[in-house]
Amino acid sequence: MKKKIALAAAAAALAGAVVATAPTAQAATSRNGVCESGEFCLYYNSGNGGSLVDLATSQSDYGTGTGCITFVSAGNGQGQCVKNNAASVWNRESAVATVFYRSGYSGAIDSVEPGTKADLRAELKNENAGHIVGDAADDTFEYGVYHAAGARVTAWFDGYLNTPGRHEGIDVAYASGADVFAVLGGTVTRVTEGSDSTDALSTLAVYNATYAKTVVYLHLNPLGFAVGQSISKGQKIGDEAARGAPATHTHVEMRPGRQTAATFSSDTTLVNPVPTQFWMDRGYNACCQ
């Protein structure tokens, strides 16, 4: 009997030890030098090499000087500012993460799908100022425009790096003749049906009174709308074309107030606000390229 009691006590003690050492789920610890689930990580070298920094929140500006975000783990680049020094990334967030060339979520972009390791594309390698993590439940912006998984962003807000002026919209492309859909509802303020020529710009402008914003679509072949007509979010508004552009795509521009046209790159003063947060608030992730 004593032996049985001793064995039972030993078994109980062993079970207690197993329970005591069982791993428990923990939240990611930002900037501890370990790329954990729920973080977006940037690396000093290509191929996810060198020192890394792990970040659990979006960053509009990695910063410079003594207050900058730095690479924290051992390896090449440790202690250096992340801004304009990252060469590769690992997205361990549950949604797409987008790296921006400029602070304030503007300029050229490079988007990384959840769970993906990648070298940053040439325009963003060692030229990166911040990143934003989307919402896993949101559609991508380009899907909102085309309702097609193969659509892509070809130029982001202020994304032309090698030309004068600036780009105050988002260029999205899928396929010539593809259906184009409204990303926000409102009232038509202008329709101009240009021809397939770089000299004949085609425009559809839609004003949303709730948000006091006008969404301007350029280059598409618009349907036969009339000024004053109402358009709903998700409604087909035209087909992808090259009206006023050298290649087929849809330029989508968000402008403050009630407007009738887009702005142009001959004017070097930025007028439109950075659209990233506005579109995220409307249910679109800021990606992908």
Highest mean pLDDT among 37-41, 95-99, 122-126, 163-167: 37-41
Question: At a CB cut-off of 8 Å and minimum separation 6, what does 239 contact?
Answer: 177, 178, 179, 180, 220, 221
Residue 271 confidence (pLDDT) above 50 = yes
Q: What is the pLDDT of residue 24?
A: 46
Residue 208 one-letter amino acid: N
Among 11-15, 109-113, 119-123, 181-185, where is mean pLDDT lowest?
11-15
Average pLDDT over residues 190-216: 89
Q: Walk me through the domains of the chain, giving residue ranges and CATH numbers.
A: 40-133 (2.60.20.10), 139-268+277-285 (2.70.70.10)
**Cβ count within 10 A of residue 113:** 13
Average pLDDT over residues 214-218: 95
In DSSP terms, 102 is beta-bridged to: 106
Q: Which residue has the higher pLDDT, 15 or 80?
A: 80
Residue 177 confidence (pLDDT) above 70 = yes
Q: Tell me the two tokens of residue 210.
A: 């709730």
**Location of structure tokens 């004003």:** 207
Q: How confident is the model at residue 266 (pLDDT cuts 50, 70, 90)?
A: low
Average pLDDT over residues 269-284: 86
Average pLDDT, the chain: 87
DSSP category for residue 257: S
Residues 2-49: pLDDT tens digits? 444 444 444 444 444 444 444 444 678 999 999 999 999 999 999 999
Q: How far apart are CA 280 and CA 98, in angstroms?
A: 12
Q: Tell me the two tokens of residue 92.
A: 């361990």
Among 65-69, 138-142, 167-171, where is mean pLDDT lowest?
167-171
Q: What is the pLDDT of residue 264?
A: 59
Q: What is the pLDDT of residue 156?
A: 84
**Burial label, 135 (beta-carbon count in 10 A; 0-12, 13-18, 19+):** middle
Percent of all residues in the chain with a pLDDT value above 70, rounded to a whole number = 84
Q: Tell me the two tokens of residue 267.
A: 């004017």
Q: How confident is the model at residue 268 (pLDDT cuts 50, 70, 90)?
A: low
- The separation between CA 150 and the C-alpha centre of its own chain, rounded to angstroms, equals 16
Q: What is the pLDDT of residue 165?
A: 63
Q: What is the pLDDT of residue 61?
A: 97
